[in-house]
Amino acid sequence: MLPNIRIVLVKTTHPGNIGATARAMKNMGLNRLYLVAPTDFPSFEASQRASSAGDVLEQAVVVDSLQQALHGCAFVAGTTARLRNVTWPQLDARTGGERIFAESRQHEVALVFGSERTGLLNDEMELCQYLVNIPTSEEYASLNLAQAVQVMCYEILMASRAGMPAMKAEPKYELDRLASTEQLDGLYAHIFAAMQQFDFFGTRNHEQVMRRLRCLFGRARVSVRELQILRGMIKVAQGKRAPPRQKPKIR
């Protein structure tokens, strides 16, 4: 089993897709399914389509929001049929599968799939650090949800069989671990509050500014220690904390 990888389905409308996803996962050695506000679950149809992967459905974690599903993850990739003109780093299914597997050797990872009709919405995509696209014919790019899950789980399994090395050696100190999504969310909220306090936004589009900053920090892969430095700096700038006094130099 590939233990650190969550497959997250957002607002799935057809229970058959949930069942087929569970089967696709189990076939490829994955078993951690998260369901964000599914329309119809548990359901007979889902169980039927899961076939012998009923255990994956039984263990599925059902939550109300995508934030809850991503709690504790240090790497989040979203899948999309349409590559958008956004500044998000984008990977294809193969390199995405390799990256997800390599990251999962160090921390919790989530791979997120959008709802059948709309795909991932902008505010859902903003919670992802990377976007992954399965290459298709130009004529028709949108795969069935469970089939998209199947392709991605297959790529992750193949990457694991290829024995990809871990990204880096395990950090020695807890503080050198990568910040989790909720810790990063805390940073963004803090930056936003400070920018408002400093009247930074003015006529700027604050949503766009914040989206770009999310991209920046997503690319940078911030550790907990680095995040604490940033938040400390912002607090000092906000006048909420005195800067640490420098020790007098003794000559």
The stretch near ligand SAH (CB under 6 A) out of 55-63, 73-81, 101-109, 215-223 is 73-81
- Of the two residues 145 and 153, which places its CB atom closer to ligand SAH in the complex? 145
**Judged by CB under 6 A, does residue 81 bind ligand SAH?**
yes
Among 53, 70, 145, 179, binds ligand SAH (CB under 6 A): 145
**Judged by CB under 6 A, does residue 113 bind ligand SAH?**
yes
Least CB distance from residue 211 to ligand SAH, whole Å?
Answer: 18
Among 148, 178, 184, 187, binds ligand SAH (CB under 6 A): 148
Least CB distance from residue 8 to ligand SAH, whole Å?
Answer: 10
Inter-residue contact 171 to 107 (CB < 8 Å): no
- Of the two residues 8 and 222, which places its CB atom closer to ligand SAH in the complex? 8
Residue from 46, 9, 55, 39 nearest 152 by CA:
9
- Of the two residues 88 and 217, which places its CB atom closer to ligand SAH in the complex? 88
- Site of tokens 């014919």: 137
3-class DSSP assignment, residue 7: strand
- Site of tokens 């991605």: 152
How far apart CA 157 and CA 130 sit, in angstroms, is 19
Kindly report the three-state secondary structure assignment for every residue of 52-120: HHHHHHHCCEEECCHHHHHCCCCEEEEECCCCCCCCCCEEEHHHHHHHHHHHHCCCCEEEEECECCCEC
Residue from 132, 17, 155 nearest 82 by CA:
132
**Judged by CB under 6 A, does residue 114 bind ligand SAH?**
yes
Inter-residue contact 16 to 42 (CB < 8 Å): no
- Of the two residues 80 and 129, which places its CB atom closer to ligand SAH in the complex? 80
> How many C-beta atoms surround the C-beta of residue 161 within 10 A?
10
- Of the two residues 47 and 133, which places its CB atom closer to ligand SAH in the complex? 133
- Of the two residues 132 and 227, which places its CB atom closer to ligand SAH in the complex? 132
**Judged by CB under 6 A, does residue 82 bind ligand SAH?**
yes
The stretch near ligand SAH (CB under 6 A) out of 42-50, 112-120, 179-187, 242-250 is 112-120
Among 133, 150, 183, 223, binds ligand SAH (CB under 6 A): 133
Among 53, 100, 120, 178, binds ligand SAH (CB under 6 A): 120
Residue 223, φ and ψ in degrees, nearest 5: -85, 165
How far apart CA 40 and CA 138 sit, in angstroms, is 32
Positions touching ligand SAH (CB under 6 A) are 79-82, 113-114, 116, 119-120, 133-134, 136, 141-143, 145, 148
